[in-house]
A = this chain, B = another copy of it.
Amino acid sequence: MSLQVVIIGAVAAGPKAGCRIKRLEPSASVIMLDRDSIISYGGCGIPFYVSGDVADLKELTSTSFHMERDPAFFAGAKGIEVRSSTEALSIDRTAKTVRVKDLATGDQSDLPYDKLVIATGSNPMVPPIPGADLEGVTPVANLHQAQAIKEAVAQGQVGAAAVIGAGATGLEMAEALADLWGVEVHLFEMAPQILPGLVDAEMARMMECHLQAQEDIHLHLGAKVQAIEGGEDGKVKAIKADGQTYEVEQVILATGVRPNAALAQEAGLDLAGNGGIQVDEFMRTSDPDIYAGGDCVSIANLVSGQPMYLPAGSLANRQGRVIGSNVCGGSARFPGAVGSWCIKLFGLSLARTGLNQAAVQDLGRECVAPLVVQADRAHFHPDNQLMYLKLVVERGTRKVLGLTALGENGDAVVGRVNAVAGLLAQGALLDDISNLELAYSPPLGSAVDVLNAAANSCDNMLAGKLRPLSPEEFSRRLAEGPGGNTVILDMRAIDNAKPFLECLAPQWCHLPQETLMQRLDEVPRDKDVVLVCNSGVRSYEAQVMLDGAGINNTYNLSGGVAAVKKWGEPILPEDEEQ
């Protein structure tokens, strides 16, 4: 008899596994269930559908060449039987059956399986806020919710909206509402930064500055949402946070998701501490005939070695293929993930792979992570844009642990992160990034790429030659003024330095780097000296020269004036060079 496979969940991991099974084992019988009526869609596309970038919901449920991935498609093109609007109620591991319920008719039946695939996805977390159940308050966890939001907005019912949670989904939804539809958006985040846990505060702040500059976005960080209030019609009318009331017609709950692992748990399968289903590198659960993948599983973080919950369509697809191979007797492996991630908001892109600095410190491991700023291609090429990089390298082992990158040119930003992602999984060392051979031609790269430069900065820091100062610390010292313990020494040409001298002297002094060796006696010795140039390169040169001359009371402003401005230090004057 042919192999009987049942797949629970038909969004990403499930369909991928099913298709792979049918390609490897055409005679297999594959039945795929989903409690929803809409299946096999790109959930990550929801904000782009709401924004209007994606005009029709069908595009999220179609192949690249416009074939709609509905049950008929799966039957004809893939040989898979899909039962949508069908819920899996329980798994009998001894009998090897799944009890299912047809949600239209209420009929229940038992489906036998040789191999079972659980791809039940995630559930949105609903925060315990009074009024979270009002009409107009919704997570964006499926296409029905997406459609309802878009309809309300398109019909002009939403003048102002609140988004609770400034993770990736919350931010993308905020942009979707504000950018095309001109909805006034209040974005509330409990943490003191956007994207908490995903990027360091320093990089998050650069994106925050960019968001704050957008007309319809109001960012409320460290905010406590107290209540959502409804009108007499039962619809949301306002949101109360930090004692203030904001009138809104729509509230989006974007406070994260958790693994939907109840079915697995009830069947007695092992769960990880993060609530995800425990799987081995073959994506097998604690029952060898049951596989699981996608947003319902816990995976290994290949950098930290710790379990990680990382719901992402990209991982779900990769896991689905591995499951498909192994269901058919293969031994394909999904060893885990390094945690690659990206977002583009109002034209500014931010991406990360591996661990950020804070995550490394949380693990009790010591690292360096200087901020590096450089053009994303030849600085003389007209298309060049500055890119902001933080490469994280462990002290002692010199192991590369992660990279965060930010810049206007999204493909270039993600390109740097992707170049490091695969190397993290291989346990690459710092020198592998120093020597990393990025393709070079002036319109497409630099002779010394910003990524190579970031590695070299880490190398210099580990060698004790670079003593960087973060924009935050610089800002703190600048705020102390001339009465504080810091003198700022501008190493640039007078044209660059002049506006800064005019408004910040006597704390801000001028000493061009190329004249430094002749003017050593002008370097203050009684205070800390922060060396400043446009990008941190010339000031590093100066720091090394001063060290060589026995003058060690200096710090180098990481990423220079470019980084401090991007970071949003308010008291700096405008500078034409930037």
Contacts and interface: CB of A to CB of B under 8 A. Distances in A.
A414 B436 contact: no
Interface string A400-422: 00000000011111111111111
Nearest to A413: B444
Copies in the complex: 2
A82 to B, nearest CB: 13
A538 B19 CA distance: 12
Contacts of A266: none
A309 interface: no
A84 interface: no
A333 B431 contact: yes
Contacts of A435: 318, 333-335, 425
Interface string A284-295: 000000000000
Interface residues of A, number: 120
Interface stretch (A185-193, A336-344, A389-397): A336-344
Contacts of A312: 440
Given A411-B409, A426-B428, A440 B314 contact: yes
B438 A381 contact: no
Contacts of A418: 415-416, 418-419, 436, 438-439
A345 B140 CA distance: 42
Nearest to A341: B439
A377 to B, nearest CB: 8
A456 B23 CA distance: 13
Contacts of A351: 439, 444
B342 A445 contact: yes
A309 to B, nearest CB: 15
Contacts of A374: 64
A44 B422 contact: no
Nearest to A75: B514
Given A76-B514, A418-B438, A419-B419, A26 B317 contact: no
A355 interface: no
A443 B353 contact: no
A278 interface: no
Interface in A52-74: 53-54, 59-60, 62-67, 72-73
Contact of A44 (B78, B318, B343, B441): B441
Given A316-B447, A447-B12, A439 B45 contact: no
A515 B26 contact: no
Nearest to A354: B437
A119 B54 CA distance: 54
A168 B375 CA distance: 23
A308 to B, nearest CB: 12
Contact of A338 (B410, B437, B465, B544): B437
A313 B444 CA distance: 13
Contacts of A568: none
A425 B415 contact: no
A413 B443 CA distance: 12
Contacts of A514: 67, 72-73, 76-77
B378 A44 contact: yes
Contacts of A541: 19, 23, 77-78
A129 interface: no
Interface in A538-575: 538, 541, 544-545, 547-549
10 contacts: A48-B443, A67-B493, A77-B513, A313-B447, A332-B431, A343-B441, A352-B439, A410-B444, A423-B423, A425-B437
Given A349-B443, A414-B444, 14 more contacts: A19-B541, A23-B465, A48-B380, A63-B538, A67-B514, A77-B513, A78-B541, A79-B517, A314-B437, A314-B440, A314-B446, A351-B439, A351-B444, A419-B421
Among all A-B residue pairs, the 5 with the closest Cβ atoms: A26-B548, A415-B415, A76-B514, A411-B411, A64-B379
